[in-house]
Amino acid sequence: MSNAPTIAGPDPDTRTPLFTLPPGSCDAHCHIFGPGSRYPYAADSSYIPPDAPLEMFQALQAKLGIDRAVIVNASCHGTDNRPVTDAIAQSGGRYRGIATITAEVTDRELRDLKEAGIDGCRFTFLRRLGRTPDLSAFHGIVERIAPLGWHVDVYLEPNSVEEFGPILRKLPIPYVIDHMGTSPAAQGVEAKGFQDLLELLRTDEKCWVKVTGLERSTSIGAPFDDAVPLAAKLVETAPDRVLWGTDWPHPNLKRMPNDADLVDVVPRYAPDEAVRHKLLVENPSRLYGFAP
């Protein structure tokens, strides 16, 4: 297969944010892509990104003032989790990871991933990426990872919480819903799909939500005025079970944000300093087990 990128790369001119993140802040959702020469992209991937390797990621973190990160293995790398585990190994304890696995994974491989700093695995229920897992495989994997103390990340179609909510409520382990449930900002906080998400977050203590993807949710772009009310409502609903992240390098996004804008918008939806500290520092430390 050709290694020519089929999607755009991140904004190369990230500015210094106006808002200073507190010490210990964690980007709880980001990716590392390649380099493809070392970590080949999956032959069946629906997209090929430009390389966004560890060195580029480290430079971004330094510019934004981020101390910790949870690196999520993306679908373009298939089940090759080395871009994540190799980055964790070089991080001095500052990174954790989320893996991509299938039902074919062995128990030994699962133990190795846990020892390498992996805290969970991700399931993408997006038809556009062509990787919608069958639910029997999903439940089988959940049973196998439960003894590891892992959780699952779920990436859902917009307005699909009504469909998946009953399934998620029955899980024996915590679950994290990516990108505010992919709720479209243009539909507003009163939209049924977003209200379904709030109800799930409010009533199921196993449910966490990533306050990420404002750049995906918005219909008007930075500074994300239309998406801020959604983020604020999630933080208000469960301040102890929300997480923040950039989603760098923003795969499959047509209008790339400046990542500093994603930092500067945080105080607008988390204006209380104590709550903001939970979002940025305490909550990810608790879920991912970062050392003090």
pLDDT score for 2: 58
pTM for the full model? 0.96
Domain boundaries, the chain: 26-288
pLDDT score for 131: 56
Q: Which of 204, 247, 259, 261 is catalytic?
A: 247
pLDDT score for 126: 77
Whether 13 is catalytic is no
Tens-level pLDDT at each residue, the chain (292 residues): 457 999 999 999 999 999 999 999 999 999 999 999 999 999 999 999 999 999 999 999 999 999 999 999 999 999 999 999 999 999 999 999 999 999 999 999 999 999 999 999 999 987 655 556 688 999 999 999 999 999 999 999 999 999 999 999 999 999 999 999 999 999 999 999 999 999 999 999 999 999 999 999 999 999 999 999 999 999 999 999 999 999 999 999 989 999 999 999 999 999 999 999 999 999 999 999 998 7
Yes or no: say if 267 and 27 are a contact pair by the CB < 8 Å rule.
no
On whether the 26-288 domain is CATH 3.30.530.20, my answer is no
DSSP-assigned states of every residue in the chain: -----SS----S-PPPPSSPPPTT-EEEEE--B--TTTSPPPTT-S--PPPB-HHHHHHHHHHHT--EEEEEPPGGGTT--HHHHHHHHTTTT-EEEEE---TT--HHHHHHHHHTTEEEEEEEE-GGGT----HHHHHHHHHHHGGGT-EEEEEE-TT-HHHHHHHHHT-SS-EEESGGGG--GGG-TTSHHHHHHHHHHHH-TTEEEEE--HHHH-SS-TT-TTTHHHHHHHHHH-TTSEEE---TT-TT-SSPPPHHHHHHTHHHH--SHHHHHIIIIIHHHHHHT---
